[in-house]
Structure 1
Amino acid sequence: MYDSERFGLAMVDNDQLTLKMLTLLVRKTLPQVDVKWVCRRGRDAVARCLSADSRPDVLLVDMSLEGMGGVEVLRRVRVATADVTLIAITSFSLEHYASDALAAGAQCVMDKARVSDICDAAVALFNGRAPHTRYVSDLSAARSHSLLAAHGGADPVDGSRARQDAMAAAGSLTDREREVMRLCVQGRSSREIGELLHVGESSVKTYVMRAARKLGARNRTQAVAEWLMLQD
């Protein structure tokens, strides 16, 4: 499992018992990895990731956090840095959170109960390899950071101009393309969107492709990220 490298891992989950169990299982599965810290509040996790002294190499983020939610934790960490591998975890439907989590900077989304798989993914991502799991970002951490930071931390003048361009691009979307993007953001699959809109799955994919092209995105994940940022 190891690529002759050690790394520091942290996790945020609002359930104390879950944190204890995850810590025990991660330490058992990855004895060479240092569990740097655990916490229950999203704001605390973000603050620790922004500090060089407490920044982990890998952060596991529960999607069902109270207060600052898991998606917002992912977004704030990724806007600030590309140096933290972000893995979204949940005990609920992966599909429900996948689009939002990946658009917010997560490198993959995983079932919280499959700790061994999470550990495999952490090792793979830290060592520059793609994890063997269904929901994986098409973007590297560096590219995701660059895209999000361009909207969240750009020079006011340049950022305003970029946003105006993006808004103009979004304005070119048809009503149906807008509706499809709204449903994509909710984590709906193409099949589910087709059923809701009474169109075929292939038609949904065509709408997504057209919307992505207008938004300057290469794929669905990037299109969702662009659309989310335009809603802020």
Structure 2
Amino acid sequence: MYDGERFSVAVVDNDQLTLRMLTLLIRRELPQSTVVWTCRRGQDAVERCLASVSRPDVLLVDMSLEGMGGVEVCRRVRAATAGVALIGVTSFSLEHYAADALAAGAQCVMDKARVKDICDAAVALANGRMPRTRYVSDLTAVQSHVLLAAKAGSGADDETVTRPDAAADVAASGAVTASLTEREREVMRLCAEGRSSQEIGMMLGIGASSVKTYVMRAARKLGARNRTQAVAAWLMLQN
């Protein structure tokens, strides 16, 4: 999702003191990140994540939000976009929230008090890796997005969403799959696993720029406008 060193973080928590403390600790632990915004309402967090000008690379979501709960925040954000890494955080039992939050598109659920571990998870997710923690999703953000977008029956964000009906049209044509070269299929398979261009390049012995070229070619054949749409269409073709 993110190949550079710097990345942006946002936090939604209904406690103002917690927001301040998390912001201070994140800035101390992650000098390579920028806390772009914080808010106390789930609806505000969803709206900011869906707007390209305010969309963070990583969102920390308090599970026990008032009004729109943390699980619903994760579900709405993930159904709309794969472009935001979601970390569920809570001061209460992780077991109470983990299953629902992961099913709603969160990539992991963590103890709010373990800020350093949360920061390590944010770095991993911002750089296209899965965090090493107990409650972690088996799906990449793209895979969760495709499933939740299809379930919701809506395509929300033009930058990161492939419409379910468009993906179905692609899947219906076997000629599309056959048109991809072996290397393009290999690259798309690794993209669908959530690997970055740099990781794929190292695995295949080619440069990251070459990986991006293969993705661009595959995207054209899949009728997609960008990498995320291409991965979504590829995943649909595998079902």
The two structures have a TM-score, normalised by structure 2, of 0.63
Counterpart code for 1:116? K
- CA deviation digits over 1:189-225, x for unaligned, max 9? xxxxxxxxxxxxxxxxxxxxxxxxxxxxxxxxxxxxx
- The gaps in structure 2 that reach 5 residues or longer are 156-163, 166-239
What pairs with 1:102-117 in structure 2 (closer than 5 Å)?
A: 102-117=102-117
1:47 aligns with 2:30: no
Q: How many residues align?
A: 156
Distance in 1, Cα, partners of 2:129 & 2:103: 20
Q: How far apart, CA to CA, are the structure 1 residues paired with 2:138 and 2:56? A: 22
2-structure distance, mates of 1:36, 1:153: 31
Q: Which residue of 2 aligns with 1:184?
A: none
Cα shift at 1:5: 1.1
Hey, what's the Cα distance between the residues in 1 that align with 2:27 and 2:131? 20
Provide the C-alpha distance between the structure 2 equivalents of 1:149 and 1:63, rounded to a whole number of angstroms: 21
What residue number does 1:22 align with? 22
| Matched residue, 2:236 | none
Aligned to 2:132: 132
Match of 1:96?
Answer: 96
Aligned to 1:62: 62
Root-mean-square deviation over aligned CA pairs: 1.8
Distance 2:15 2:51 in 1: 24
In structure 1, stretches of 5+ residues that fail to align are: 159-232
Contact persistence 2:4–2:127 (CA under 8 A): no
- What is the correspondence of 1:1-232 to structure 2 with a 5 Å cutoff? 5-154=5-154
Identity, % of aligned pairs? 76
Q: 1:40 to 1:154 in 2, by over 3 A?
A: closer
Structure-2 change in CA distance of 1:76 and 1:4 (3 Å): closer
CA-to-aligned-CA distance 1:142-179 (integer Å, 9 cap, x gap): 00000000011349x97xxxxxxxxxxxxxxxxxxxxx
Structure 1 outlier segments of 4+, above 2 Å: none
Is the alpha carbon distance of 1:154 and 1:39 closer, same or farther for their aligned partners in structure 2, counting shifts above 3 Å? closer
CA contact (8 A) 2:124 2:131 kept: yes
Partner residue in 2 for 1:206: none
- 2:7 is aligned with what amino acid? F
Distance in 2 (CA, whole Å) between partners of 1:75 and 1:130 is 19
* 1:32 to partner: Cα distance: 1.7
Instruction: Provide the rounded CA distance (Å) in 2 between the counterparts of 1:70 and 1:57.
Output: 18
Q: Using the alignment, how far apart are the partners of 1:4 and 1:54 within structure 2? A: 18
Residues of 2 paired with 1:50 and 1:130: CA distance? Answer: 23
Shift of residue 27, structure 1, vs aligned partner: 0.2
